[in-house]
């Protein structure tokens, strides 16, 4: 069922056993899977008596804050000096939930320059294997958290027994798997349910976790989602949906990063809609989030038109374009792509 390269895991175990100072990094705009995997790894390494620090390129959403109770995760954009020292001073660098250094923005140079042994654990298509000393990558798996879960179970001190994982590791892994599958809605495999079952048996409080993840938002956030779906969602040719979230709207509703996570999935509930895209205005660019119905590949779409990529049914990218140009650009690109991919 699940085919994790045993020799690679053995090499990983040796690296952990022989190392003392570890640095764990995730991608820019860290999501539940990235933060979950980083925290899970940190707590696991600490339980083995190792020094471990997490560095993320920028802030993560507030609904994940409970995963970092001491608030010790370093943010590269806010404190380049300390974050840079943590990266350059480590013997082993764990790179989690991204497939290439370019996914870490301005942190990429520091990661490339690091002399540490670089280990990638990830589930995105097309890992840049040349940048890493050891790559553990699978795409037919729900999340990096799930992959990490199965890997950690193979450590000699765990020996397949999930209840021997540190409690925060177990909770963080369950969190990342839950957010990446949109609470078991997509990319769910038999191994995903095994993981969930074993972690529940090991004592993870899923009810409390779901409440922290999904029921702790501001009123403004829910009203913003209402506004997006009621007034902003546009549909091109009856099949291709897009929504735009410009600065004006963000300010009006007190938006903060992560607030509209998952909203991009909603237009797919419409019978004939095949692709859904959300454009969020950011400092010097527009963030692009793309979802599709199961048969439609948006990884190629994201690569070709949005300087990004990801998975078959969930991808992302970025545009350096005025928000005003987007409706026209989207309509033209999605029509061209639909022709090439024979979607029409
Ligand atoms: Mn992920």
Q: Give the residue from 171, 197, 214 where a domain finishes.
A: 214
d(CA 332, CA 178): 35
* Confidence band for 1, pLDDT divided at 50, 70 and 90: low
Quote the tokens at residue 282.
């950011």
Residues within 5 Å of ion ligand 1 by Cβ? 33, 97, 143-144, 180
* Pair (179, 246) in one structural domain: no
Q: Is 229 helix (H, G, I), strand (E, B) or coil?
A: helix
Q: How far apart are CA 203 and CA 205, in angstroms?
A: 6
Q: Are 296 and 282 in contact (CB under 8 A)?
A: no
What is the Cα–Cα distance from 221 to 72, expressed in whole angstroms? 27
Give domain status of residue 162, yes or no.
yes
Q: Are residues 187 and 331 in the same domain?
A: no
116 and 179 assigned to the same domain: yes
Q: Is 271 helix (H, G, I), strand (E, B) or coil?
A: coil
Domain-located, residue 1: no
φ, ψ dihedrals at 173, nearest 5°: -65, -45
| 83 C-alpha to ligand 1 centroid (Å) | 23
The verdict on 163 and 34 lying in the same domain is yes
182 and 156 co-located in one domain:
yes
Question: Are 231 and 224 within 8 A, CB to CB?
Answer: no
Residues 249 and 181 in one domain: no
pTM: 0.88
Asked if residue 41 lies in contact with residue 24, where contact means CB atoms within 8 angstroms, the answer is yes
CA 189 / ligand 1 centre spacing (Å) = 15
CA distance 32 to 175: 7
The pLDDT mean for the chain works out to: 96
201 assigned to some structural domain: yes
Of 150, 183, 214, which residue is a domain's last? 214
Q: Are residues 281 and 321 in the same domain?
A: yes
Output the CA 102–ligand 1 centroid distance in Å: 16
Secondary structure of residue 53 in the 3-state scheme = strand
What is the number of domains present in the chain? 2
Report the SS3 class of residue 128: coil
CA–CA separation, 56 vs 274, rounded Å? 33
Q: Compute, in angstroms, the gap from residue 65 CA to the centroid of ligand 1.
A: 18
User: Is residue 7 scored above 70 in pLDDT?
Assistant: yes
122 CA to centre of ligand 1 in angstroms: 7
Residue at 20 is within a domain? yes
Cα(146) to centroid(ligand 1), Å: 9
Task: Give the model confidence (pLDDT) of 138-183 as tens digits.
Answer: 999 999 999 999 999 999 999 999 999 999 999 999 999 999 999 9
165 & 305 share domain: no
CATH number at residue 87: 3.90.1640.10
pLDDT 10s digits, 235-244: 999 999 999 9
Q: What is the CATH number of the domain that holds 282?
A: 3.10.310.30
| Ligand 1 centroid distance, CA of 145 (Å) | 7
Tell me, in angstroms, the distance from the centre of ligand 1 to residue 19's CA: 26
Residue 316 lies in a domain: yes
pLDDT(2) > 80: yes
Cα 143 to ligand 1 centre (Å): 5
Residue 336 lies inside a defined structural domain of this protein: yes
Dump pLDDT digits (tens) for 270-315: 999 999 999 999 999 999 999 999 999 999 999 999 999 988 999 9
Tokens representing residue 283 in the block: 């400092």
Q: Is residue 155 part of a domain?
A: yes
Q: How confident is the model at residue 224 (pLDDT cuts 50, 70, 90)?
A: very high
Among the ranges given (102-106, 160-164, 249-253, 256-260), the one the predictor scored with the smallest mean pLDDT: 256-260
Give me the residue label for tokens 């090499």. 11
Of 214, 229, 247, the position where a domain reaches its end is 214
| pLDDT value of residue 200 | 98
Same-domain pairing of 90 and 210: yes
14 lies in a domain? yes
Count of residues in the chain: 344
Q: Are residues 186 and 154 part of one domain? A: yes
* Residue 47 in tokens: 């339980």
Contacts with 69 (C-beta within 8 Å, 6 or more apart), sequence order: none
Tell me the CA distances in angstroms from 307 to 159, 249, 303, one per residue in order. Answer: 42, 25, 5
Q: Are 261 and 225 in contact (CB under 8 A)?
A: no
| pLDDT above 70 (res 78) | yes
Same domain, 144 and 245: no
Tell whether the model's pLDDT for residue 218 goes beyond 80. yes
Query: Domain range spanning residue 284?
Result: 219-340
The reply to whether 172 and 263 lie within a common domain is no
Contact at 8 Å (CB) between 23 and 87? yes
CA of 63 to the centre of ligand 1 (A): 17
Task: Write the CA distances from 200 to 29, 68, 162, 188, integer angstroms.
Answer: 29, 21, 10, 17
Q: How far apart are CA 19 and CA 93, in angstroms?
A: 10
């Amino acid at each position: 069922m699940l085919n994790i390269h045993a020799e690679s895991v053995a090499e990983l175990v040796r690296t952990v056993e022989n190392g003392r100072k570890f640095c764990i990094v995730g991608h820019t705009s860290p999501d539940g899977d990235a933060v979950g995997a980083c925290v899970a790894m940190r707590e696991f390494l600490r339980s083995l008596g190792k020094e471990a620090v997490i560095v993320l390129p920028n802030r993560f959403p507030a609904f994940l804050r409970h995963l970092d109770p001491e608030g010790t995760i370093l943010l590269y954009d806010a404190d380049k000096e300390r974050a840079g020292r943590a990266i350059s001073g480590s013997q082993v660098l764990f790179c989690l939930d991204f497939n290439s250094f370019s996914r870490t923005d301005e942190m990429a140079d520091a990661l490339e320059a690091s002399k540490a042994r670089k280990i990638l654990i990830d589930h995105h298509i097309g890992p840049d294997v040349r940048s890493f000393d050891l790559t553990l990558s699978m795409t037919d798996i729900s999340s990096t958290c799930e992959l990490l879960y199965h890997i950690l179970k193979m450590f000699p001190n765990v020996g397949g027994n999930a209840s021997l994982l540190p409690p925060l590791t177990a909770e963080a892994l369950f969190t990342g798997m839950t957010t990446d599958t949109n609470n078991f809605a997509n990319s769910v495999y038999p191994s995903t349910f095994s993981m969930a079952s074993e972690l529940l048996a090991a004592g993870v409080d899923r009810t409390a976790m779901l409440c922290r993840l999904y029921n702790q938002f501001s009123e403004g956030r829910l009203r913003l989602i209402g506004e997006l779906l009621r007034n902003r969602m546009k549909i091109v040719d009856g099949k291709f949906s897009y929504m735009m979230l410009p600065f004006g709207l963000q300010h009006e509703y007190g938006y903060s990063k992560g607030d509209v996570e998952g909203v991009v999935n909603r237009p797919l509930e419409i019978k004939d809609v095949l692709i859904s895209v959300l454009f969020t205005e950011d400092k010097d660019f527009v963030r692009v989030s793309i979802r599709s119905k199961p048969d439609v590949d948006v990884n190629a779409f994201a690569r070709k038109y949005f300087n990004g990529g990801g998975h078959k049914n969930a991808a992302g990218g970025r545009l350096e374009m005025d928000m005003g140009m987007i409706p026209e650009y989207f309509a033209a690109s999605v029509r061209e792509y639909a022709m090439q991919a024979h979607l029409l």
